Amino acid sequence: MIQRTVDLGPADLAAYSAILDVRSPSEFALDHLPGAINLPVLDDAERAEVGTEYVQGSKFLARRRGAALVARNIARHLEGPLSAFDGSFRPLIYCWRGGQRSGAMATILDQVGWGVTVVYGGYQTWRRQVVRALYETSLRCRLTLIDGPTGAGKTELLARLSADGVQTLDLEFLAGHRGSLFGAFGPQPSQKLFETRLYAALADVDPARPVVVEAESSRIGAVTLPPSLWTAMQAAPSFLLDPPPERRVARILTDYADLAADAGRLDAILSRLARHLSKATVSRWRDLAAAGDLETLVGELIDQHYDPAYRRAVRPTTAAVEADVLTRIRSLSAGL
């Protein structure tokens, strides 16, 4: 018998063998439940075809065509990705909202003999939970910020703390961006997918213990920190990392080695700085990059671009970092 549920907390999701998102690939790419597998019953082109017929032509023909496509696609999934599962398989299935696509998949999988659960209200049920947690309530954990200028080693310290058992929240990893002009390291998630990742990460946090997070602006690349997190970060105590400039230059050259090796991409990014700096300065930096003098380039970027921006963004704080966390941070920041 097909079950229905609205309990979609990250801990609830762990009860299922798999989470099957039967929406189209473009819907899935925009956002999806953590760990979901995309098994569309209609792909983007098929969905557009059926929708156009439904609106502009015959509703009957649209339903008949849609049914044929859905049946064919579900058969393909059964013979492909789902063929590896035995009788103990217990999937959670969802679509957008109305339940037609998830209902079609659930009906057939139920006939196979699998214990199927469908999300009542579909993806929109999950999205309401994310919005409620990140936009309508206060953050339930205590934050400590790792602050410091570009190249100070904040990300490395965060990784050391995590490996040492300290609770951390890696916003740059969740956002797919290092948080600076040169910080992209792959396609960023959509705003909604970033928020889903953040919501799932926060669900694993023990509110009785502090959480260390790297200080960021309200935007990381193209995504924006939601109000509950940004408000908590603004009120959080911080630990300042401020190594000497030569160490920062060396770290940036290491951390951004992939960018340094891509002359075209580096030049394109430097060209965009013309909006903030003089043409002569940007031209000089492009020449330094072209000549391979990256050490000089990074030193001047720190002095004339990164540090002035950092000083404008620095906020005062009067709160003290909790003693145990402060001790761990001081110990693990040695040598950065």
Residues classed as catalytic: 95
Q: Which value, to the nearest 10 degrees, does the dihedral of the CA atoms of residues 163, 165, 171, 176 take? A: 30
Number of other CB atoms surrounding residue 254 within 10 Å: 11
Q: Amino acid identity, residue 214? A: E
Q: How far is CA 213 from CA 8, 107, 249, in A?
A: 26, 45, 23
The helix, strand and coil proportions of the chain, stated in percent and rounded to the nearest 5, come to 55, 10, 35
- Asked whether the CA dihedral 44, 50, 55, 57 is positive or negative, the reply is positive
